Structure 1
Amino acid sequence: MGKKMAAPIIIGIIGCFYMIMWICLLFWGQAPLPILLLIGIPMLALLFLWIHVVMERIHEIRSNEEDDLSKY
């Protein structure tokens, strides 16, 4: 089970790092307010969504729901 969880965790960390880097660049780089509202706030929402999806995938792996497509 540990090997199956490695990929989602690694990809999740890389994705979060990438989004945090851009969010920090926008907010602390003193970007204009319209840019913050159009890019920064949605990117922040996507960061939380990304974390939720990775946590959900880890939960699926732990509960042995490997093949989600077989349900449909």
Structure 2
Amino acid sequence: MVEVLNGGQIISTSSGSGRAGKITVNATDRVLVNGTDAEFNERLDKFLQDLLILALVVAFLCLLPVPVLQVISK
């Protein structure tokens, strides 16, 4: 059994490319995560801002014209 209480967190994030990671809990009885992270909101805001910037860049790149190669044979 895993309990996360009072602002406790089990998280895995990445602001770079690739996966953030895998969280595995192997417990025979109980895991209790209890407490707060005073900087979590700031880190979450930064992560979301980075994600928004990435989405805007991707959207912009999708709007750029794509060069077309035309093959003409005689």
Normalised by the length of structure 2, the TM-score is 0.39
Normalised by the length of structure 1, the TM-score is 0.40
**Structure showing greater Rg:** 2
Judging by fraction of residues, say which structure has more helix.
Answer: 1
Judging by fraction of residues, say which structure has more strand.
Answer: 2
Structure number with the bigger relative contact order (C-alpha 8 A, sep ≥ 6) is 1
